[in-house]
Amino acid sequence: MAKTSKTAGSKATIYDIAKLAGVNPSTVSRALGKPGRVSAKTQKLVEDAAAELNYSVNPFARALPTGRTNTFGLIVSDITNPIYFDIIRGAEAAASLSGFTMVLAESAESADTELTVARRMLPATDGVILASPRMPDSRIRELAEGKPVVVINRSVEGIGSVVPDVDPGIGEAVRHLAANGHRKLAFVGGPKQSWMAARRWESFRAACEWSHLVSVLLPAASPTLDGGRRAAREVIGSGATSALCYNDLLAIGLMRELQAASVKVPDEFSIIGFDNIFGSDFTTPQLSTIASPLRECGAAALELLLAALPDTAAATGKPAPSARPLELRTTLVARGSSGRLLASSTG
C-alpha cells in the first residue's frame, strides 16, 4: 500500500484514500458509495485505507448527487410504551446490516403531530416507517407520493404494511378462558383512532361467538397503566369474569386495581394482555398475554422500505413489494393471571 501525504489533523478525502490504496479516486467512490461494484480485493484495499485515515462517509454529502441519504425515519405513537422497544431494535438491526441509519421520533398519540413530524423527516431521509400510525389513510397515502412509506400495526391500501395476525393468538386466548369456566368475557379497548384496536376487538368478538360465549366491549381512557386502573370498576360492573386487554399496560393497570380492591386474580377474575412486552412477566401473578412478533415486525418493515426505494428493483432485479399486508403470527403465552374460575365466584 502506498504512503500518503495527508497533513496531520486535516480531514481525509477520497484522493488521500486513492493514493494510499494505489487505486483511482473513481474506484474509491464506487467502493465506498456502492459496495459490490468493485472486486473483493479492491474493496478491502479501499476499506483498509479509509480505516487507516479515519475516513467516514457523510450520508448527506452523498445525497447531493444521488438523492440517497441511507437514513430512514421511524415514528412511534408513544416512545414510553415498551411495545416499541423490540420494533425499534428489529428495525435498527436490519438497517445496520444494510448500511442504513435510523432517525427516531414519536407522535405522542396525536395524528396532527405525527403528520408534522413525518413531513419534516421525509426530505432528509429515504423513507419513513410509521409504527401504529394515528393519522387517516388519506394522509399516509399523501406522504407516500413523495418517498416510500411503510406502516406497522396498520393496513393501508396501496402502502407496504406489516400486521401481526391477531386471529391465532386471540383464538387461543378465548379457548383458554372457555376451558377454565369463563362464559362472559370483556375486551378492554384501545385508542379510538387505532386501526389495530378495532381489528383486535373484531377478532375477539368473532372468537367468542364461535365458542358460544358472551363478549362485551369496554372503553379505556388511555392505553396505559392508568387507563387500566380507571377501567376496573366498569369491567367488574359488566358481569364479566375475565378480560382481554388491548395491550399489556392496560392489563397490568387493571390487575393492580382489582388486587387493590381484594379481587383475587385469577381465582375470581382472569386477565390477559396483548404484545408480551418486556416486564409483562414481572407482575404477581405473571401476566398471561398474546405475544406479537415485534422484533420481526420492525425488521420486516425496514426490508419493505428498502425494497420500495426507486433504484432497488433495478439493482437487484427483484420486483417491487406487494401492497398486500405482510402478516406475522401471534400466539398465547399462558401464565398465572388467567386460570380456572372458582365455583364460588360464578354466583
What is the tens place of the pLDDT at every residue in 173-231? Answer: 999 999 999 999 999 999 888 899 999 999 999 999 999 999 999 999 999 999 999 99
- Retrieve residue 236's grid coordinates: 367488574
Residue that the C-alpha cell 398465547 belongs to = 332
Q: How far apart are CA 202 and CA 108, in angstroms?
A: 26
Q: Count the Cβ atoms, other than its own, within 10 Å of residue 97.
A: 11
pLDDT higher than threshold 60 for residue 316: no
Over 80: is that where the pLDDT of 315 sits? no
Rounded to an integer, what distance in angstroms lies between the CA atom of residue 276 and that of residue 245? 12
Domain assignment present for 254: yes
Containing structural domain, residue 241:
165-292+332-346
Task: Specify the pLDDT at position 12.
Answer: 79
Indicate whether 85 and 234 sit together in one domain.
no
Residue 95 CA: distances (Å) to CA of 74, 101, 155, 286: 11, 6, 22, 34
Note whether 288 and 323 are same-domain residues: no
Asked, for residue 2, whether it belongs to a domain, the answer is no
Q: Which secondary structure element, helix H or strand E, spans residue 151, and what is its range?
A: strand 149-152
- Residues 342, 227 share a domain: yes
The predicted model scores a pTM of 0.76
Contact yes or no for 57/32 (Cβ under 8 A) = yes
Q: CA 76, CA 182: separation in Å to the nearest integer?
A: 36
- Identify whether 266 is preceded by a cis peptide bond (ω within 30 of 0): yes
Structure confidence at residue 1 as a pLDDT band (50, 70, 90): low
For residues 261 and 279, membership in a common domain is answered with yes
- What was the pLDDT predicted at 312? 61
pLDDT at 34 over 50: yes
Mean pLDDT of the chain: 88
Contact criterion met (CB below 8 Å) for 224 and 253 = yes
Residues 113 and 102 in one domain: yes
What is the count of structural domains for the chain?
A: 3
